[in-house]
Structure 1
Amino acid sequence: MEQITEAEADAPAPVPEETIAGGEADLAEIKESAPMTDEPGTSIGTPTPEELREQVERTRDGLGQPVEALAGKAAAVARARGRTTAVRQQAVETTALVTGQIQAKARQAAHLVKDRTPDRVRDRAAQASGFLARAVLRAGQATAEKTPDPVLYNAGRAARAARAQRTPLLAAGAALAVFVLVRRGRGRR
């Protein structure tokens, strides 16, 4: 077992720098101070109990300020997340409401067009639609056979992206259709 000399016993214990908030000046004070006793400080460099209390209070104040700053930042982040969630929820609700309104207007416009269109015209439109669908299918097949592979790959990616974003595309298309129908209806008056 290692024996401690009397000089080593009287030397102050080293204090790790990270535990001292006051900086190098306070560290120097602590390192130079004599061992702590209950007697008031009589020699230079020996802190009195009052000086030690003041030093502890300064250290506490120094540690308390960063903690308060971190708590303030955490509260600001929590408020921002709350606002983001509220705005996101409001956007979802507004989008659902507008989409529902657009779909209702589109259904109403479709029924209006259907009701005003004679049966004979609708039959011809159905025949033309079938003819057009077959023609588009044939043209698509012919184009696919003559199109280079990289172009087909990119077109496939674009189609997958459009399918993934189907709701916004349908909503935009319905809005455009309603806008055109309303403009045409106002132009005839």
Structure 2
Amino acid sequence: MNKKAKIVGMGIICLLMVIGASLYAVKFNDSRLVVPMEQPYEFTVKDLPMHIAVACMVLYVFYLCWLDCQKAKKDAAAHVTRRISPKLGIMGLLGFLGLMGFYTYNAEGRVAPFLFFLFFGFFGFFYEGKMSNTFMDERYVENKRRAQRKAHRIAQGIVYVTLFLVAMAEGRILKATDTKLIILVIAVACSIAVDIFLGEYLLYQYDHEE
């Protein structure tokens, strides 16, 4: 079994552990740590499977980050872009989880799930993958700076326009503080997503210009 297969296998095992711990909690532990708890949390032995599963998943994520850093160092030393699969762009679909924010806000008053909208930026992995193992010459570096500058300007523009519209609607259309907070959280999350995505998309376009 090669290293890549082992890494994927570890991820599948961690995922199955989390799923198994969740099913155990639902069936034998009154859904503790699976659904929101009203009372202050107090540790019980039955919570142990969930803690272990989550800890393993967190360690696995840190391990992946460490591997990515090691690969990035090797690629930087060789003056080439990092090698990733364009298929990772499918992770951008996680951005739709931001829609859960409308449910959690109505049910529990929480706005944090709106931050999932920033995952739309992961669609940029598709274009970064297409640029994998590209030699970083002066033309590439200049195109990257050019793409990042434009992406930053557009992302900042989204935030500024949102702030302006919220300020203009103050006391007229937007009266509830929570509504303004939701709009600002969504705007910030989407601006980050746009910044990440456009940085890769524009770089790909500039690099393939005639």
TM-score when scaled to structure 2?
0.25
More RCO (CA 8 Å, sep 6+): 2
Larger radius of gyration: 1
Normalising by the residue count of structure 1, what TM-score does the alignment of the two structures yield? 0.27
